[in-house]
Structures are given as C-alpha cells and as structure tokens.
Structure 1
Amino acid sequence: MSQTNNQLQNNIQNQWNGAINITFISDTHERHQYLNSELYYGDIIVHTGDLTNGEINPYDMTPVINFLSWFSSLPYKYKIFIGGNHDLPLMHQVLQEILLQFPNVIYLNKKAVVLTVNNQSLKFYGIPFVSHLNGWAFNIPSEQISYMAQQIEECDVLLTHDAPYNNQYLFQRVNAIQPKIHAFGHMHEFAGITYKQGILYIDGAQMGFPVYDHIYKPIRVQISNGQMQIVNYNEITHWKDFPYQ
C-alpha cells in the first residue's frame, strides 16, 4: 500500500469498472468543514459518530442541523451516519422531525439499509452504542453489553462508534458475522486501517486527541464483485495493544 499521493489520486480517477466507491469519516466534532477539500465525490459516504460536541449543551440541536446541512450537500449518492458518545442531541425525539428536512441522509440506530450501486448491493448495519461511559450518549450498562452486541445483524458493512479493541463482546460479534468491513471511530489515536481474519477494520477518526485538530484523511475503499481496494488511507494502524486476538 506504499503509493504516492499522485498514484492514490489516479486510483480514484481510474476506478475499477463498476466498483462501489465508499468514503469513511468519523469524529469530526463540529469541525466537518475542514474536510471540504478532501471529499471529492463518490457513491457512498459514511460517518461513524461524534459529529457534535453535544455534551456542552445536550439540548441544542443547532450543531446537528449544521452537520446535516453540510453532510446532505456532499457529492455522494448516499450519505449514512450514526451517533457517537458526544452526540447527546441525537437522543431527543425532535431529531426525527429534523431528519425529515434532509431526505437524502440515512440515519442508522440499530437499523440496516441495503444500497445498490452499479448493480451491486451492500447491506449496512449501524449501531452507535459505547461501553463504560456513564452519562454520555448511547452508553450501554456493562450488564447489557453482551446482549446488545448479539443484536447486531449480519451485514456487509458494520458501522459502530465503539472500537472492537475497546469492547470484547463487539469484537466477538464481528468475528461471528464476518462483515467485509467494520467501520468505527471513537479512539482517535488509532485512526487508520488494519486487516484481520478477512475483515477490513477502519477507524475513520478525523481529529487528533486530546486536541481536536484535523490531522487524518478520509478513508476511501472501492468494492467490486466482493473484492476491495483501498485508494486513500491514513498510516496503517497496527493496534499493538489489540487485546482480543
């Protein structure tokens, strides 16, 4: 995967014939417009949570509306997002009314959607739960984590906010259902990709930590007839401390 920026750009321009082009981002924390110059086009864009800093004012929907206005305008056919632990405003019922204003955006919360592009179909399943974060959005009590993980449906692309190396039950479920891709965020310091046991793991975090400055790139993947090609990525994540082997 050692390619120059020009080669990566050529890969994007010269797509596989009939490939599905997917861009993965996460953890933009209200700084999404920093990505404008890096989101060229594509079939599908996915955001795996922490689009806001909602813990500051959990009842303020303005950051959500700002994000959706931006997200809905991006040059992608399909736009999917899930929540993250910072996204407390997404917990409120008024979100459903707001989403009606953005019909080209798909919000997944323990739901699946099947998208067809270039005569190929992919099932996406999204679940935003996180563990061990009492008082934050989508937190699941310890005694319910195993049950919640078991509810994850078989799919081609699994979207979670929590990282598999941060949640043993999630990691076990991922290995059981064997998606092509497991995309997530949450752990900014591990942003990047890795490949384990036939699954492409993508941590799409865009901001650094603890300072939320924009230091990572969107990750782009092409899928054609079940085969994957990575056309843009951050440094390979080795996950040296990956606890569940």
Structure 2
Amino acid sequence: MPTNSINFLHISDTHSQHRQLTQLPDADILIHSGDFTMNGSEQEAIDFMNWFCDLPYPHKIFICGNHDACLYGSKIDGLDKNVHYLCNSGVVIDGVKFYGVPMFMEDCISDRQSRNYAAVPTNTDVLITHCPPYGILDFDDELNYGSTELLARIKEIKPRLHLFGHIHKQHGVKEDGPTIFSNGSIMNEDYTNFNLPNLIEI
C-alpha cells in the first residue's frame, strides 16, 4: 500500500436511484459494489454507467450485484480510462491492488461462486464483493446472509479494506483485525430512504 492516505467513497445498492445522489462528498476513488439496477435491465445499466462515468472522481470502480443480471457474461467496452468494471478481475491504482467479485445468481446456484472467492489473489489490498462475509454487517430477519467461504478467504488474505452491500439493513463500517469492512447500501431496507455513503480513509 502507498504511504500517502487515500480517501475511498463507497456506495452500493442504489437500485436505479443513482441520479438522486446529487451531493456526494469528494474522494480519491469512488467504488460501487453492485445492485445499481432494480430490475436488471440493459436500459437501467446503461443509465447507471453514463451517470457513473460523468462523476468527477479521479478513479471509479464498480461491480455487479444480484439485481444486475443483464451484465452476466458481458464484456463492457467504451468506459473512460479512469472507470474500471471488475468481474472476477483486478486493477492496480496508485499502487493499491483492487479485486472485484460480482454476485450473479447463475454462479451462486452452482459451485462457480465458491471458485470465484477462492481465486481472489492473496496480495489484494481492497476487496470488492456484493455479498457480505458471514457474520459481518450481514444480519437481517434473524439470519446472517453472508458467505462463510468469503469470510474464510478474507481471513487468509487479510485485505486492508473489504467493500460490499446486499443487506440494506446493515449499512455501516466496522473494523475487525487488519481489515475495515464497509456495507455501503444506499437504499434503506424498505427502499423508501437513503443511507449516507461511506467515506473511508486508509
């Protein structure tokens, strides 16, 4: 990791309400951890990407969530050079190693998602997933919805930062050992109001 501090603005689960986010704070890197659509349509995805690309941040990263089904198996062309779509892939920005794992239901109902988590590089500094790790900002309706396999992988690689969403009720930031965990869900649990984005400095 670089010696200079970096400000990360983390959002997730905007569900096609992204254009209502008109006063986002400044940051070095903006990250969206999935569910930018509501119904998974191509039109919703295009509108989000147009909005995301136009935002005035030096670097921007996004991944897909379980709602963003139209992008399953897709390759996205034409993004600005400072905008990165991560799909079981990584990028290095200013010496920081990012890696993103989406949450497509086609993978979750097979063993592919387990393989995706196992493939996260051990030198990852910032891990971006849509699913939470088990037991960390993942509790809703008396259940933990996070992944035990993801938690095990995080304990192995010890990223500095793990960004996710999915469980709207558990929006927040938690530090546990060497890792800062951020649930960036913007829409609240009943989709009637907005949570504040998470601004994290490391």
**Partner AA of 1:78 in structure 2:** H
Residue aligning to 1:229: none
Residue aligning to 1:11: none
Residue aligning to 1:126: 100
Q: Can you list the C-alpha shifts for 1:72-109, whole angstroms capped at 9, x where unaligned?
A: 1112100100000000111253x52xx31544321000
Aligned-pair CA distance for 1:159: 0.2
Residue aligning to 2:26: 41
Matches within 5 A, 1:46-65: 46-55=31-40, 60-65=41-46
Aligned-pair CA distance for 1:142: 5.1
Contact 1:25 1:218 in 2 (8 A): yes
Residue aligning to 2:121: 153
d(CA) in 1 for partners of 2:151, 2:31: 20
Query: In the alignment, does 2:4 pair up with 1:23?
Result: no
Q: Can you list the C-alpha shifts for 1:103-153, whole angstroms capped at 9, x where unaligned?
A: 43210001010001xxxx2100001136xxxxx4x5323544433321111
Give 1 or 2 for the bigger CA radius of gyration.
1
Contact 1:45 1:76 in 2 (8 A): yes
- Give the TM-score normalised by structure 1: 0.71
Residue aligning to 2:91: 113
Matches within 5 A, 1:165-204: 165=134, 166-204=146-184
- Measured on the aligned residues, the alpha-carbon RMSD in Å equals 1.9
Contact 2:166 2:185 in 1 (8 A): yes
- Cα–Cα, structure 1 residues 139 and 195, in superposed 2: closer, same or farther, change >3 Å? same
d(CA) in 1 for partners of 2:175, 2:6: 19
**Partner AA of 1:161 in structure 2:** H
Matches within 5 A, 1:96-111: 96=76, 99-111=77-89
**Partner AA of 1:53 in structure 2:** M
Aligned-pair CA distance for 1:18: 4.3
Aligned-pair CA distance for 1:163: 0.7
Q: In proportion to residue count, which structure has more helix?
A: 1
- Cα–Cα, structure 1 residues 92 and 175, in superposed 2: closer, same or farther, change >3 Å? closer
Q: Can you list the C-alpha shifts for 1:27-54, whole angstroms capped at 9, x where unaligned?
A: 00000122211x1322100000000013
Contact 1:180 1:199 in 2 (8 A): yes
Find the residue that maps to 1:164 and give its secondary structure. Answer: coil
d(CA) in 2 for partners of 1:83, 1:101: 15
- Cα–Cα, structure 1 residues 90 and 143, in superposed 2: closer, same or farther, change >3 Å? closer
Query: Structure 1: where are the runs of 5+ without partners?
Result: 1-16, 131-135, 224-245
Aligned-pair CA distance for 1:193: 1.0
